[in-house]
Structure 1
Amino acid sequence: MTAIRTALVIGGGIAGPVAALALRKAGIQATVFEAHPGEANAGASLTVAPNGLNALEIIGAADAVRAAGRPIPGMAMGDGRGNRFAEFSGLPGLPASHVFARADLNRALHDYAASQGVEIEHGKRFVGAEETAGAVTARFADGSTAAADILIGADGIRSAVRPLIDPAAPSPEYVGLIGLAGFASGSGVEPDPDVMYFAFGDRAFLGYWAMPDGRVAWFSNVPEPDAAVAAAARKTPPGDWLERLRDLYADDVPGAALLRHSEPGDLFVLGGMEIMPDVPSWHRGRMVLVGDSAHAPSPSSGQGASLAIESAVELARCLRDLPGAPAAFAAYERLRRPRVQAIAAAAARTNEDKSSGGPAGPVDPEQIFGFVHRHRVDWDERVTP
């Protein structure tokens, strides 16, 4: 039996509700505190890969999550001239990855957590915490407080919990790419609905896939070495961005057609793409980090959401099996750090490919995705110190 009975989870994005559900399965009561006053409507899309879906199966949330997204089992890679250098329909024996509007995934996780009795309090902006011998107390901007045995920082890449654990922790780091996304209508481009496409153009990278309503969703990664320019990207009017993108993809297939048939009102300027550099300490005392607050690989990994889900479940497993926070937190970090570091390194290499026109050699899907997608959290295996 665990010595931990209650937990405060700071952050209600993806890692927060998953952590609360996993802790509940481990016999720990958790309350989620979210700074946003209501349901967030974050734009753009993200993917939950087979490894993330497997972790969601453990907490019973996989069906609810899958219903909010769309399966896309296949993947095709090529250049900006329409040539293909890799194409596959998913790894044998694994379910299809699912693509989501971020708001839909958040809503599915919140609704499922609430249906299982998890309390989520909105409008609670975390501003600090104090530890005593027997508890940790969180303070919020509205003057309220909450206390529990442990506090979990699931509050993203700009975590307010992280500097309390490690005042010297690094800040998010720009990777040299600006992210944008949108929708094209009537472009004449008809992707296979079971395939997500990745085109490494000479000047910029483009990913795209078919939507059920006939539109084509796309996302662009534009090389930009100047971090200050990237930081100001969201201040540039969408119409100006669209003109720049049309120029960047003017000679690309099918980028030129997709951008010609996209409108400013359908454009999301996501801004400079960032990673979380290696965080030296994931835990201190009664506080611990999970998800992007501890490990945020480049979006090029396609694993941000899935790794956050895995880590939340692994943290609960460690708290279930080991006596007290220090031993459980140390085991959790030991289990997770090598995997997230390896995936972050691979994503960094992908970022280089996006800036240089694509991979230099043949692409082996099993070699690239096998280690990542075939990973399974073994809930039934007991964690040892």
Structure 2
Amino acid sequence: MGSTRGVAGVARIIVIGGGTAGTAAALALHRAGFDVTVHEAHPDSAEDIGAFLTLATNGLRALAQFDAVSAVTSVGFPLTTLRVLDGTGTELARRPLAGVQDPLLPYRCLRRGELNAALQSEAARRGIDVRHGARLASVEDGPDDVTVRFTDGSTATGDLLIGADGLNSTVRRTIAPAVDPRYSGEHVLYGYTTEAPVAGPTDLFTLIRGSAAAFGYAVSPAGETYWFARVSGDPLSAEDLANGTPARWRDLLLPLLRKDATPAAGMVAATTDSILVTNATEMPPATPWRAGRALLIGDAAHAASPATGQGASMALEDAVVLAKALRDAPDTESALTVYETLRRPRVEHNIITSGRISRGAHSPATVRPGSLGGPGTTAAPVGDDDLVRQLDWDTNLWTMVTDSSPAGDRG
């Protein structure tokens, strides 16, 4: 189309999906000097506002690389301590969470919609174009550029297409049409209440190893209890998910929680209307991430069950590594190879680890506390020092990867 190629042969980048992965990628790519436009099908920023999540230290470290920590920490509340209880209410462990020594890096609990809105507001403040309300219909990958068509008849053309459109990604259907998310063995309920008969520090996250469900909760500074429950069993049907009511979800969950002597049942009983339920799903490892001028990131590429609580943090890492790879590599193909080389081992380890927890392969109370919901892992095999180097904005990823490769593999 006659555009002048920029860094790595890319001048214009189209991002499909304005959630955490897509908007964070836009912010990081903008900082790296790219012209980027985000297209979000939802008419505003409040998609998935019902569910809450935890941002781990690695996610906040990623945010810091494109100067978005303050935008995100303006919502939600920090968590500094993890407590684990058994089904009798006995405390099994109490540990500080990672990042408590750095005021920018403590874990943060917030609603997904709050995170999306904060990132989109920051993108708008920086002049990044985020367009709402048009749903992707098709992708046409050409020799010189890629064109996307939307259901409203509009089109957009760029040098690279980033599919950050989540678990049911339309972009993924053009890259890996035979691959679908799979059920990971449990359904998850989220709720909020200001009436729970529990008080406690607002920086404490409590995980309960129940006999019939895993349960976690935190109390906000405003006195609102955020809770989740993970229940093993067959997936809920689409009809159940569409027609379920808070009363029905309470009736489903309370008999399981009342088997134990913990505060979980009281919290759920006190929750009258704010309950959300979803089947936990994951992308199969080895799912193709790219074809031609299109690349998948975030949940579209590597969704995991929520058991390790790392979904949003992994998406934020994706954003930084992608922007740096495109900034540092000599051409687009090399950049996307560097990106996949660095990201795939880490995120697929997280898929496997989280899936094992969801399927009951090992107790979440025995896992090293690197993230919440599990209480989690550090998503090895990438070590902490290597991750810090990968995310550090001043580290050249092309040099890092080629210098560590055998001479015959460089190129």
Q: TM-score range by the shorter chain?
A: over 0.9
- Matched residue of 1:217: which SS? strand
For 1:366 and 1:140, locate their aligned partners in 2 and report how far apart those are by CA, in whole Å: 40
Q: For residue 321 of structure 2, what is the aligned residue in structure 1?
A: 314
Q: CA deviation at 1:230?
A: 7.1
Q: Does 1:36 align with 2:36?
A: no
The question of whether the paired residues in 2 share the 8 Å contact of 1:230 and 1:271 is answered with no
Q: CA deviation at 1:342?
A: 1.3
Q: CA deviation at 1:297?
A: 1.3
Q: CA deviation at 1:117?
A: 0.9
Supply the AA of the counterpart residue of 1:66: T
Distance 1:125 1:370, change over 3 A: closer
Distance 1:366 1:324, change over 3 A: closer
Q: CA deviation at 1:40?
A: 2.3
For 1:369 and 1:308, locate their aligned partners in 2 and report how far apart those are by CA, in whole Å: 16
The question of whether the paired residues in 2 share the 8 Å contact of 1:231 and 1:271 is answered with no
Q: CA deviation at 1:129?
A: 1.3
Q: Does 1:195 align with 2:201?
A: no
The question of whether the paired residues in 1 share the 8 Å contact of 2:211 and 2:259 is answered with no
The question of whether the paired residues in 2 share the 8 Å contact of 1:86 and 1:363 is answered with no
Distance 1:27 1:215, change over 3 A: closer
1:159-238 alignment to 2 at 5 Å? 159-168=169-178, 170-225=179-234, 227=235, 229=237, 232-238=240-246
Superimposed CA distance per residue, residues 281-322 of structure 1 (whole angstroms, 9 cap, x where no aligned partner): 211111111111111111111110010110111111111112
Q: Does 1:61 align with 2:68?
A: yes
For 1:191 and 1:231, locate their aligned partners in 2 and report how far apart those are by CA, in whole Å: 38
Supply the AA of the counterpart residue of 2:315: A
For 1:26 and 1:140, locate their aligned partners in 2 and report how far apart those are by CA, in whole Å: 27
- Cα root mean square deviation, aligned: 2.1
The question of whether the paired residues in 2 share the 8 Å contact of 1:224 and 1:230 is answered with no
Q: For residue 404 of structure 2, what is the aligned residue in structure 1?
A: none
Q: For residue 406 of structure 2, what is the aligned residue in structure 1?
A: none
1:341-356 alignment to 2 at 5 Å? 341-353=348-360
Give the percent of matched residue pairs that are identical in Structure 1 and Structure 2: 38
Superimposed CA distance per residue, residues 189-242 of structure 1 (whole angstroms, 9 cap, x where no aligned partner): 1132111111111111111111222232211112222x3547733422221221
Distance 1:339 1:151, change over 3 A: same
Supply the AA of the counterpart residue of 2:160: I
User: Which among 144, 148, 154 is matched to residue 154 of structure 2?
Assistant: 144
Q: CA deviation at 1:115?
A: 0.5
1:72-111 alignment to 2 at 5 Å? 72-91=79-98, 93=101, 95-111=105-121
Q: CA deviation at 1:103?
A: 1.1
For 2:154 and 2:378, locate their aligned partners in 1 and report how far apart those are by CA, in whole Å: 46
The question of whether the paired residues in 2 share the 8 Å contact of 1:177 and 1:222 is answered with yes
Q: CA deviation at 1:370?
A: 4.7
- Matched residue of 2:307: which SS? helix
TM-score, length of structure 1 as denominator length: 0.92
User: Which among 20, 24, 32 is matched to residue 26 of structure 2?
Assistant: 20
What is the aligned residue count? 378
The question of whether the paired residues in 2 share the 8 Å contact of 1:74 and 1:196 is answered with yes
Distance 1:258 1:228, change over 3 A: closer
Q: For residue 258 of structure 1, what is the aligned residue in structure 2?
A: 267
Q: Does 1:133 align with 2:143?
A: yes
Say which is worse superposed, 2-11 or 372-381, in terms of deviation: 372-381
Say which is worse superposed, 31-40 or 232-241, in terms of deviation: 232-241
The question of whether the paired residues in 2 share the 8 Å contact of 1:89 and 1:195 is answered with no
For 1:259 and 1:288, locate their aligned partners in 2 and report how far apart those are by CA, in whole Å: 41
Q: For residue 378 of structure 1, what is the aligned residue in structure 2?
A: 392
- Unaligned 5+ segments in structure 2 are 1-6, 399-410
TM-score, length of structure 2 as denominator length: 0.86
Supply the AA of the counterpart residue of 2:77: R
- Matched residue of 2:98: which SS? coil
- Matched residue of 1:67: which SS? coil
Supply the AA of the counterpart residue of 2:143: A
Q: For residue 342 of structure 2, what is the aligned residue in structure 1?
A: 335
Q: Does 1:158 align with 2:168?
A: yes
Larger relative CO (CA 8 A, sep 6+): 1 or 2?
A: 1
- Matched residue of 1:232: which SS? helix
- Matched residue of 2:73: which SS? helix
Q: CA deviation at 1:362?
A: 5.1
Q: For residue 275 of structure 2, what is the aligned residue in structure 1?
A: 267
